[in-house]
């Protein structure tokens, strides 16, 4: 029986012979012309429509993410060997405090909400201003083609480390952080070796809140750590070790890794701090993430410093080379 009534519409192509039943082929994008053959990308686009667009967009996004994740990618500085840490100082054995907040003289913000010490477990407010060495040594980690730094791990007398695993757990975190391929040994110039006797290049020291303030300064009332060349110590504030920083969103473990890497970065000669370089990127490890990961917040503390007030906000990051 011949077909007399056939459906019609912009999305249907019918191919109907005199003795064949009605067949309809649906094309998602427009109507295929039967006058000229369509091949290649045009056919793919017309046949698959939005799927092609989605795949292309996904490939572009994937490429951007991979590029951003590489050392030297967006927000990471220039190249694998120099992710924007600044000049490497040659006077690491000098005097003074590295990494402390600027001295407040009326030109700076007197406080910073993003730098507030979070609530949390008990902290050691006062210590004895003396430290004991945690027993233990390691072999060399990193190639150390230019310098192998020796260090001790120490805890201030009066600091009770039992709440976070004891002195040994603190030492293990230090050792494991410095041995991680995302840490400073990614740069083959550097190596590290823990000792328990003799004079180290620096002493990584867990320190009470008030002793830290005395060693690092507290002109701007923000608890933070520092590297003090005067006493040869990487001074890690125990209050921050226990409670972390607001920018780390409760991830205290990552904050402890940052605390070690940032201050050891000062001890090996990276004295300059860094700004957030690309909005939404990982923060450089030498950014003062204890104060926050927004450039505007840090710039309020030091308007004449290296951090511009440009609205950029980074994501927290504990590693010099976060992709290893």
- Region 192-208 average pLDDT: 98
In eight-state DSSP terms, residue 316 is P
- Region 74-84 average pLDDT: 44
pLDDT at 108 over 90: no
Exposed/middle/buried for residue 248 (C-beta within 10 Å: 0-12, 13-18, 19+): buried
- Region 61-75 average pLDDT: 39
Beta-carbon contacts of 320 under 8 Å, excluding residues fewer than 6 positions away, are 83, 85, 182, 183, 184, 186, 187, 261, 265, 285
pLDDT class of 204 with cuts at 50, 70, 90: very high
CA distance to 109, 144, 192, per residue, from 149 (Å): 37, 8, 5
The whole-angstrom separation of Cα 1 and Cα 99 is 91
The whole-angstrom separation of Cα 66 and Cα 76 is 12
Q: How high does pLDDT run on average in the chain?
A: 79
pLDDT at 21 over 50: no
Beta strands in 162-280 (DSSP E): 190-194, 202-207, 226-228, 233-237
pLDDT class of 304 with cuts at 50, 70, 90: confident
Exposed/middle/buried for residue 97 (C-beta within 10 Å: 0-12, 13-18, 19+): middle
Choice among 86-95, 99-108, 264-273 with the minimum mean pLDDT: 99-108
pLDDT for residue 35: 44
Q: Which residue has the higher pLDDT, 37 or 302?
A: 302
pLDDT at 125 over 60: yes
The whole-angstrom separation of Cα 17 and Cα 21 is 8
CA distance to 22, 115, 157, 255, per residue, from 250 (Å): 65, 14, 27, 9
Choice among 52-56, 170-174, 239-243, 256-260 with the minimum mean pLDDT: 52-56
Pairing of strands 147-156, 131-133: antiparallel
- Region 170-174 average pLDDT: 98
Tokens describing residue 297: 């917040």
Tokens describing residue 149: 């730094």
The pTM of the full predicted model, rounded to 2 decimals, is: 0.74
- Rounded to 10 deg, the angle between the 40-48 and 50-69 helix axes is 100
* 176 membership: H or E segment, kind and range: helix 167-179
pLDDT for residue 19: 42
pLDDT class of 1 with cuts at 50, 70, 90: very low
Compute the half-sphere exposure of residue 23: CA atoms within 13 Å on the CB side of its CA. 8
The whole-angstrom separation of Cα 142 and Cα 248 is 28
* Residues facing 270 on adjacent strands: 88
Would you tell me how many other CB atoms lie within 10 Å of the CB of residue 220? 20
């Amino acid at each position: 029986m011949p077909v007399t009534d056939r459906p019609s519409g912009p999305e249907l192509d019918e191919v109907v012979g005199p003795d064949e039943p009605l067949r309809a082929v649906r094309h998602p994008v427009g109507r295929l012309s039967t006058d000229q053959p369509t091949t290649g990308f045009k056919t793919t686009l017309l046949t698959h429509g939005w799927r092609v667009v989605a795949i292309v967009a996904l490939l572009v996004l994937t490429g951007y993410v991979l590029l951003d994740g590489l050392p030297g990618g967006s927000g990471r500085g220039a190249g694998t060997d120099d992710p924007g840490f600044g000049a490497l100082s040659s006077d690491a054995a000098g005097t003074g405090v590295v990494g402390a907040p600027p001295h407040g003289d009326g030109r700076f913000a007197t406080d910073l909400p993003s730098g507030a010490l979070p609530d949390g477990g008990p902290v050691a407010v006062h210590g004895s201003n003396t430290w004991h060495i945690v027993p233990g040594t390691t072999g060399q980690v990193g190639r150390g083609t230019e310098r192998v730094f020796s260090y001790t791990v120490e805890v201030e007398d009066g600091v009770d480390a039992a709440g976070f695993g004891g002195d040994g757990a603190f030492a293990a975190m230090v050792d494991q952080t410095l041995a991680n391929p995302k840490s400073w040994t990614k740069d083959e110039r550097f190596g590290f070796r823990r000792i328990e006797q003799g004079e180290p290049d620096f002493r990584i020291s867990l320190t009470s809140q008030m002793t830290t303030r005395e060693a690092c300064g507290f002109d701007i009332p923000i608890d933070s750590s520092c590297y003090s060349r005067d006493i040869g110590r990487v001074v890690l504030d125990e209050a921050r070790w226990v409670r972390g920083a607001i920018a780390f969103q409760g991830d205290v473990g990552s904050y402890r890794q940052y605390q070690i890497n940032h201050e050891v970065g000062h001890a090996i000669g990276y004295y300059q701090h860094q700004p957030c370089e690309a909005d939404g990127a990982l923060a450089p490890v030498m950014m003062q993430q204890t104060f926050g990961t927004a450039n505007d917040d840090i710039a309020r503390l030091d308007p004449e410093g290296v951090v511009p007030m440009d609205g950029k906000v980074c994501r927290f990051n504990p590693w010099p080379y976060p992709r290893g």
